[in-house]
Structure 1
Amino acid sequence: MDKKVITRITVVSFIVGVMIAVQYNTVQMPTTRDTRDIWEIRQELSEEKKRHSELLSEIATLSSVVEEYENNDTESQAQILKDTVEELKQRAGLSSITGPGVVLNIVPAAELLEMGFQIEPISPNLLIRLVNEIYRYNGHFIEIDGQRLVHTSAIRDINGKTTVNGVPIDSTNIDIYIITENFEKAEKLYSYLFASAFRDDFYLDNLSLVINEAQPSITVSAYDGNLSNTYLVENDKGE
Structure 2
Amino acid sequence: MTRHHYSIALTATCILLGVIVGVQYNTVKQQRLSTENQRLSEVTLALNQAQEERDALQKQKEALEKTLEEYEEGTYSGVEIEQLRQFAGLTSITGEGVIVTMNDSSTNMGGDRNAYLVHAEDLLSVVNELNGAGAKAVSINEQRMVGKSAITCAGSIVMVNGVRVAAPFEIKAVGDPDVLQSALKFPGGVVDSLTPWGIEITIRKEATVTVPAYTQTTIGEEDLKEEEE
Q: Aligning the two structures, in what range does the TM-score lie when normalised by the shorter sequence?
A: 0.5 to 0.7
Contact 1:139/1:189 (8 A) holds in 2: yes
Alpha-carbon RMSD across the aligned residues, in angstroms, is 3.0
Match of 1:126 in 2: 122
TM-score of the pair, normalised by structure 2: 0.55
Contact 2:139/2:172 (8 A) holds in 1: yes
Q: Return the offset for 1:228.
A: 3.6
Match of 1:200 in 2: 192
TM-score of the pair, normalised by structure 1: 0.53
Match of 1:176 in 2: 171
User: What is the letter of the counterpart of residue 184 of structure 2?
Assistant: L
Work out whether 1:209 is the aligned partner of 2:201: yes
Q: Return the offset for 1:156.
A: 1.3
Residues in 2 aligned to 1:106 and 1:165: alpha-carbon distance in whole angstroms: 18
Task: Tell me which protein shows more helix as a share of its residues.
Answer: 2
Of the two, which has the highest radius of gyration? 1
Alignment of 1:89-100 (within 5 A): 89-100=85-96
Contact 1:199/1:208 (8 A) holds in 2: no
Match of 2:211 in 1: 220
Contact 1:109/1:203 (8 A) holds in 2: no
Summarize the Cα distance change of 1:233–1:210 in structure 2 as closer, same or farther, 3 Å threshold. Answer: closer
Residues in 2 aligned to 1:147 and 1:164: alpha-carbon distance in whole angstroms: 7
Match of 1:103 in 2: 99
Deviation per residue, 1:13-40 (Å, 9 max, x gap): xxxxxxxxxxxxxxxxxxxxxxxxxxxx
Residues in 2 aligned to 1:94 and 1:139: alpha-carbon distance in whole angstroms: 16
Work out whether 1:81 is the aligned partner of 2:81: no
Residues in 1 aligned to 2:184 and 2:121: alpha-carbon distance in whole angstroms: 18
Residues in 2 aligned to 1:224 and 1:147: alpha-carbon distance in whole angstroms: 8
User: What is the letter of the counterpart of residue 206 of structure 1?
Assistant: G
Which structure 1 residue ranges, 5 or more long, are not aligned? 1-79
Contact 1:108/1:173 (8 A) holds in 2: yes
Which structure 2 residue ranges, 5 or more long, are not aligned? 1-75
Residues in 1 aligned to 2:155 and 2:165: alpha-carbon distance in whole angstroms: 13
